Amino acid sequence: MPVSDIITRQYISQPPVFADIFNFLVYGGKKVIDPGTLIEADTRLSAVLSSTDLRNGTQEVVRDILKSSVIRQDDRQCYLLLGIENQTQIDYGMPARVLLYDGMEYNHMMKLLKDGCKPWPKGTPITSSLPRDRRLKPVITAVAYFGLEPWDGALSMHDILDFPDDMTRRLVPDYPLNLIQAAFLSEEDLRKFSTDFSLVGRILGCARDKRKLCELIEKNKQIQGIDGLTAQFVDRVTGAHLPLDNTKETFDMRTAFDELKDDYKEEGRQKGIQEGRQIGRQEGRQDELSDNIFRTIRYQMKRNLSHADLVDTLIGTFEISKPEAERWIQKVNLA
């Protein structure tokens, strides 16, 4: 597994961050899912595929992160299975992937429940993949996207299906994607997070604009003491190649971004030099144009060209308006 994927998984797997993401996604930021209730679940699932030909075999999938959680509300205790798929690039088949993962989770739960129950009496004409009095845990999969370009992929199964007509579409269940685009969260949404995931979103949102990123680094106090794993995660997803000291538990990201700030200042200085040169060239061209207009007017006046013809000559030669031509002639007469 690439180092960037390992670091991303380690960061998102932290119970406070994991719970924070689902509290935002499911409960709008309300702290319902307690990080202390999260239990690691097996991310590897397999299912036996059967067909009438000889291609019988086993399908195996591996999720990025999967945890179970207990939700206590209104004196009820419910269980959820929560999964996160991390994406730094757009996957245009993502809804089908998530549908497969979630379907295999439900299939696995049914198999466990069925195996744990007494078999139906022999000769009973009842077959079921799930005991009638049992219920499955809801499975919620979030797609955490850390790309710097907006997600332009499918947002549901219907987006990737080619329907022949609306009647067919009506009968095919849709499966929406629970997508979180970290770099494109609004400030209102970012304030709903209680961990430094909000800081990650703000940094990613500024990653393509050095001026905004430098302003964020200078003004945001949260950035002055983030933990080492968060710093490495930010470095990986932004591609900043920050000079991080892996021996330290916390980092002042202002120091890590010093080189970036120096680059931004140098770019500003070079831009100022280029703009100055451009203004100078424009002023030089303007001076040259003025001299040419003056010489033309004086020359045509010596030839006793009529005022109307002189105006037309200036308009045609220098592509200026009639009022401008009149003003130039007046300047020469006053000189």
Q: DSSP string spanning 287-324? A: HHHHHHHHHHHHHHHHTT--HHHHHHHHHHHH---HHH
87 neighbors 152 (Cβ within 8 angstroms): no
SS3 state of residue 116: coil
Task: List C-alpha distances in Å: 58 to 51, 54, 83, 154, 182.
Answer: 12, 13, 22, 28, 35
Which residue shows structure tokens 């207990």? 70
Cα dihedral 293, 295, 296, 297, rounded to 10, equals 90
Beta bridge mates, 59: 47
The distance from CA 329 to its chain's CA centroid, rounded to whole angstroms, is 60
Are 102 and 89 within 8 A, CB to CB? no
Task: Record the pTM.
Answer: 0.70
- For the record, the structure tokens of 267 come out as 């770019």
User: Three-state DSSP class for 176?
Assistant: strand
Q: What is the pLDDT of residues 190-227, one digit of tens each?
A: 999 999 999 899 989 988 877 787 777 777 777 767 78
Query: Residue 58: CB partners within 8 Å, gap ≥ 6?
Result: 46, 47, 48, 49
pLDDT digits (tens, 9 = 90+) for 244-303: 666 566 666 666 666 555 554 555 455 544 554 554 445 556 667 788 888 888 878 877
Q: Are 213 and 239 in contact (CB under 8 A)?
A: no
Cross-strand partners of 227: 250
The total number of residues shown for the chain amounts to: 335
From first to last of its 335 residues, what are the pLDDT tens digits of the chain? Answer: 566 688 889 999 999 999 999 999 999 999 999 999 899 887 887 655 444 444 555 667 788 898 999 887 667 788 899 999 999 899 999 999 999 999 999 988 888 887 766 665 555 545 567 777 788 899 999 999 999 999 999 999 999 999 999 999 999 999 999 999 999 999 999 999 999 999 899 989 988 877 787 777 777 777 767 787 888 888 788 776 666 666 566 666 666 666 555 554 555 455 544 554 554 445 556 667 788 888 888 878 877 778 888 888 888 887 888 888 888 888 888 76
